[in-house]
Each structure stands twice: as structure tokens, then as C-alpha cells.
């Protein structure tokens, strides 16, 4: 076990950040903020979540995450406050004002320990915004990478009501046996981003083109070329064909994590014909989730159900932070089975099928699909993200070169199992966490 020393009691100042993007882009930004505060010996102000993005959610960090658990888990790593302190100025008390800085994308650690630190010492508090992808993923310091895992997989726990709904859904689904979850990323924003529009009607294409113009950089995108390099999201029908080819039958229970499927039932009905036992958080979850199901809470429930499902299949990883973080999380929680279709290798097989060459289709799909790791340990190769695969940094070793990497006991599995069980019990023990909520409200800290 390594020696990770406690943060010094002297602080160099306050670090305020504003995360942006969807639930999981913000999640990795929170991990980065903790690492930044640690290397700067700064006091972290509870990270602010974006309220203006596509997801339009106003609940903020305390509305989604269990603040008390976050503070407790990280108490040996950094100092955290829920808002900037008040200061005396000209006889009046007012809130300390943070100096705003726009950090460079994927900034190296040295940016934080030089420029940002100097500004922090000058102003007492700095405010980094926007704060997604503002710290390089590759850090040559396993302790700091482990700190990221500690934040991502231990400190960030959803609020009790989200955990409760998720548990209920999982219990309901598991009462009928195993189930698979699919993150079906066939939503308008992703399709517009990918630029794979030829399969849609002229009216639908117009919507996608308009959204693309308004939100993304201009780029000439040719459907066939995009598809051949694996950049087109799988259609629901393609997902169904893959699952059928690798042996899943119409009795397979599937939980769909997805926003509104673009193109609607035209695309969903072929999938439903192959896999009729289909659920989502509206069909199995409580009704009250529905009114907010585009917000972060709906996304958080989907995240938890996908985390706990027996098998998880993302249909569009790469630019999807939801799928990426889940793959990383499932890997961390004991290499849970994940089916990741290689879209690039599958594209020519689907194209042949569309031209009428159906013989050998299933065999060819199987050849591609069984040439994967299914969520087992594998070496991270660039551009795979640390948030998708924290192996080996966040896993202990039986015969390490560095003693800090050593597993805690002879039987690491037993210890890990014990820890996991404790976490699950803690998660299920909702009564103990309920009381804390009222003490963790943050004040509005916008400048
Ligand atoms: C942070 O504190 C540690 C231990 O007290 C010290 O070694 C390190 O130099 C400090 N770093 C900064 C950037 O102040
Ligand atoms: C599944 O397919 C079999 C035929 O292969 C059929 O008899 C059965 O009714 C189907 N089940 C469902 C739920 O559609
Ligand atoms: C969820 O399932 C219900 C019932 O099957 C369906 O009406 C609804 O459209 C589904 N929602 C999404 C987002 O797929
Ligand atoms: C949790 O609280 C409910 C009502 O507040 C009570 O009925 C139940 O026994 C409690 N459960 C535990 C495990 O303490």
C-alpha cells in the first residue's frame, strides 16, 4: 500500500471551477478539479455544474451527488469547502471574488503549478471556466491517476433518491433473470455531430443539417466514408442484428439507456421485432422521473442501471462520455462484461448485406465481435482514454516493480469483494445518508 500524504494545512488559495457538458463530461471534470487542487495545495470549492448546456439541469452538484460522502471520501486528499469564504473589506463583509481564467485544453500539470498557482497566490481565489478537458489525461504519476479513480469510482456517489430508483429498477429487472443494458446513442445531437444523414428523410436531414450548422464546426462529411471509418452511430436495427448474430435470442431482457431516438419508430420497430423484452427508465421506473428525464437525474439513473447490468453494450463510444465512463467504471468494478462493437470492421459487412449478400453475414459479424476483450483487463493504447480504461494504474499488482503498486493482502479478491460488498451495503443503506442532505446546501457562488 502506498503512502499518500495528507494535504498540508496551509492553503495556497481557493480553486473554483465550472464544469460543462453532459453528466459524464462533468464527471471527469470533477476528477480533474480534485487533482488540480491537490497539486496546487489549494482548497477546492465544490465544483459547479453547467446549467446551460443541452441538458438544461438546474440541480447542480448537490442536486445530483451526495456532498457529504464526497467530502468524507476525499478528506485525506484535499480540502474542500462548499462556497467561497466571506471577507472583510472597507468595514463590510462580502464574498471573496475569484479571478476568472480560461484554462488551455488538456493543460499539463505544470500549467497548474506555475501560471495558475501564481494567479491564485495573487488573487487568493481563481475561477477556471470552462472546465471540461482542461487537464491532460496522461499524467506520469500513478498516485495522481489513482486519485482520479478515487474521485470517479468512490467519492462521486449519486444522491440517495437516485440510488434508490436505480436499485428498484435493477431489482425489478433482475427478478426475471439476467439483463443487458444498451446505451443506444441514436439521438439527434449525436447524429448531427457524426454527419451520417443519408438514411433519413429530406425533412429529417434538414433538421440534422441545421443543428450541425448551429453547433459544430463546418466540415464536409460523406456518409459512405464516415461509415467506413466507423464514425456513424449504429442504427437500432444494426445493434439487433449484431446481438442476434452472437447468439442472443428474443427472450433477452434489454434495458435501453437512451434519449429520444431520432426518426422514431421507423428505426425502433425492427429492433423491437428482434428483442421484444425491452425496457427503459420510463417503463420500469417510477413515474416522477419522466418529467425530468432529459435532465441529469434521468441520465444518472441510466448510468447506475447500466453499471449494474449483467452485460453492457455501448453503440457509440468514442465521443460519448456516458459510454466511455461506464466502460471505465465497469472495468474498475471487476471487469464486468462489456460488448463493444468495432463499427469500422462491421461497416463493410452491413454494406454487403444491404446490397443483398446475406449468406455468411452472421459468421462475419461473429468473427469481428469475438475478436474483442469484452471488458477484461487490457493495456490502454492511445487514443483510448484513461476514463475508459484505468488499467493498470488503478489496480494493484501481485508482483509489482514498485512497492506502491502491491496488492493489500495475499488474497486480493477476498479483500476487493469485501470492499465491494461494503459499498453496496452502504449504498443500500439509504436511511443513514438522508439526514445529511440539509447541511450541504451551497450558496450561490456565481460572479
Ligand atoms: C504542497 O505541499 C507539499 C507538502 O506540504 C509540498 O511538498 C509541495 O511543494 C507543495 N506544493 C505547492 C505547489 O505548494
Ligand atoms: C421468440 O421466437 C420464437 C420462435 O423462434 C417464438 O415462438 C416466440 O413466440 C418468440 N417470443 C417472443 C416473446 O416474441
Ligand atoms: C420507453 O418505453 C416506453 C414504453 O415502452 C415508450 O413509450 C417510450 O417511448 C420509451 N422511451 C424512450 C426514450 O425510448
Ligand atoms: C429506514 O427508515 C424507515 C422509515 O423511516 C424504517 O421503517 C426502516 O426500518 C429503516 N430501515 C433501516 C434499515 O433502518
Strand pairing class (92-95; 86-89): antiparallel
How far is 371 from 156, CA to CA, in rounded Å?
Answer: 33
State the Cα–Cα distance between residues 75 and 437, nearest whole angstrom: 18
Mutation pick for ligand 1 pocket among 37, 40, 41 (CB with most ligand atoms within 8 Å): 41
Nearest C-alpha neighbor of 283 from the set 371, 179, 379: 179
433 vs 194, more confident: 194
Confidence of residue 434 (pLDDT cuts 50, 70, 90): very low
pLDDT tens readout for residues 268-303: 999 999 999 999 988 887 765 555 445 678 889 999
For the beta sheet containing 180-183, the strands, ordered from the edge strand earlier in sequence to the opposite edge, are 278-279, 254-257, 180-183, 311-314
Cell of 153: 469510482
User: For residue 28, what pLDDT band results from cuts at 50, 70 and 90?
Assistant: very high
Question: What is the distance between the terminal CA atoms of the chain, rounded to a whole angstrom?
Answer: 42
All structural domains of the chain with their residue ranges:
14-157, 160-369
Closest-lying ligand to the alpha carbon of 117?
1
Question: DSSP letter string over 360-401?
Answer: THHHHHHHHHTSS-TT------TTS-TTT--TTTTS-BSS-S
* 269 Cβ closer than 6 Å to some ligand 3 atom: no
Which residue has the CA at smallest separation from atom 2 of ligand 2? 250
Looking at every residue in the chain, the average pLDDT score rounds to 86
**Nearest ligand, CA of residue 251?**
2
CATH number of 160-369: 3.40.50
Q: Is the CB of 250 under 6 A from ligand 2?
A: yes
Dihedral of the CA atoms 190, 191, 196, 201 (nearest 10)? Answer: 180
Q: Whose CA is nearest to atom 1 of ligand 2?
A: 250
Among the bound ligands, name the one nearest to the CA of residue 429: 4
Closest to 157 measured CA to CA, from 303, 320, 321: 303
Specify the residue for cell string 456516458: 322
Distance 226 CA to ligand 4 centre (A): 54
Tell me the CA–centroid distance for residue 259 and ligand 2, in Å.
28
Report CA(373)–ligand 1 centroid distance (Å).
41
**pLDDT (tens digit, 9 = 90+) per residue, 298-321?**
889 999 999 999 999 999 876 678
Nearest CA to ligand 2 atom 7: 250
Q: What is the pTM of this model?
A: 0.84
Q: Which three cell numbers stand for residue 211?
A: 443543428
Which candidate, 302, 300, 255, places its Cα nearest to that of 279?
Answer: 255
Amino acid at each position: 500500500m502506498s503512502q499518500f500524504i495528507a494535504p498540508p494545512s496551509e492553503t495556497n488559495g481557493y480553486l473554483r471551477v465550472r464544469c460543462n457538458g453532459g453528466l459524464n463530461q462533468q464527471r471527469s471534470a470533477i476528477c480533474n478539479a480534485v487533482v488540480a487542487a491537490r497539486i496546487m495545495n489549494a482548497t477546492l470549492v465544490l465544483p459547479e455544474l453547467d446549467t446551460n448546456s443541452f441538458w438544461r439541469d438546474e440541480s447542480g452538484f448537490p442536486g445530483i451527488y451526495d456532498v457529504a460522502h464526497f467530502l468524507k471520501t476525499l478528506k485525506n486528499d484535499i480540502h474542500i469547502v462548499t462556497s467561497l469564504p466571506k471577507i472583510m473589506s472597507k468595514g463590510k463583509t462580502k464574498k471573496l471574488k475569484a479571478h476568472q481564467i480560461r484554462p488551455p485544453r488538456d493543460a499539463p500539470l505544470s500549467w497548474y503549478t506555475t501560471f495558475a498557482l501564481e494567479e491564485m497566490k495573487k488573487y487568493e481565489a481563481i475561477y477556471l471556466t470552462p472546465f471540461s478537458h482542461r487537464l491532460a489525461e496522461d499524467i506520469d504519476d500513478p498516485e495522481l491517476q489513482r486519485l482520479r479513480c478515487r474521485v470517479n469510482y468512490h467519492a462521486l456517489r449519486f444522491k440517495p433518491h437516485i440510488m434508490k430508483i436505480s436499485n428498484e429498477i435493477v431489482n425489478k429487472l433482475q427478478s426475471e433473470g439476467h439483463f443487458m443494458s444498451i446505451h443506444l446513442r441514436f439521438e439527434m445531437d449525436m447524429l448531427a455531430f457524426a454527419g451520417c444523414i443519408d438514411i433519413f428523410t429530406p425533412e429529417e436531414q434538414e433538421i440534422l443539417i441545421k443543428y450541425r450548422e448551429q453547433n459544430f464546426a463546418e466540415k464536409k462529411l460523406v456518409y459512405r466514408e464516415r461509415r467506413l471509418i466507423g464514425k456513424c452511430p449504429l442504427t437500432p436495427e444494426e445493434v439487433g442484428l449484431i446481438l442476434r448474430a452472437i447468439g442472443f435470442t428474443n427472450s433477452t431482457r434489454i434495458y435501453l439507456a437512451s434519449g429520444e431516438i431520432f426518426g422514431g419508430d421507423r428505426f425502433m420497430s425492427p429492433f423491437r421485432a428482434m428483442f421484444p423484452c425491452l425496457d427503459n427508465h420510463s417503463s420500469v421506473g417510477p413515474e416522477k422521473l419522466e418529467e425530468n428525464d432529459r435532465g441529469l437525474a434521468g441520465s444518472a439513473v441510466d448510468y447506475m442501471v447500466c453499471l449494474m447490468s449483467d452485460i453492457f453494450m455501448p453503440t457509440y463510444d468514442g465521443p460519448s462520455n456516458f459510454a466511455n465512463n461506464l466502460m471505465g467504471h465497469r472495468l474498475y468494478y471487476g471487469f464486468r462484461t462489456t460488448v463493444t462493437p468495432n463499427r469500422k470492421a462491421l461497416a463493410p459487412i452491413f454494406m454487403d448485406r444491404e446490397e443483398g449478400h446475406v449468406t455468411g453475414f452472421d459468421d462475419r459479424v461473429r468473427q469481428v465481435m469475438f475478436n474483442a476483450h469484452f471488458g477484461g483487463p487490457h493495456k490502454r493504447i492511445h487514443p483510448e482514454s484513461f476514463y475508459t480504461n484505468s488499467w493498470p494504474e488503478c489496480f494493484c499488482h501481485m508482483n509489482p516493480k514498485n512497492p506502491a503498486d502491491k496488492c493489500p493482502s495475499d488474497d486480493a479478491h477476498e479483500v476487493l469483494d469485501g470492499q465491494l460488498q461494503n459499498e453496496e451495503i452502504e449504498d443500500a443503506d439509504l436511511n443513514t445518508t438522508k439526514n445529511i442532505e440539509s447541511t450541504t446546501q451551497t450558496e450561490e457562488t456565481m460572479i
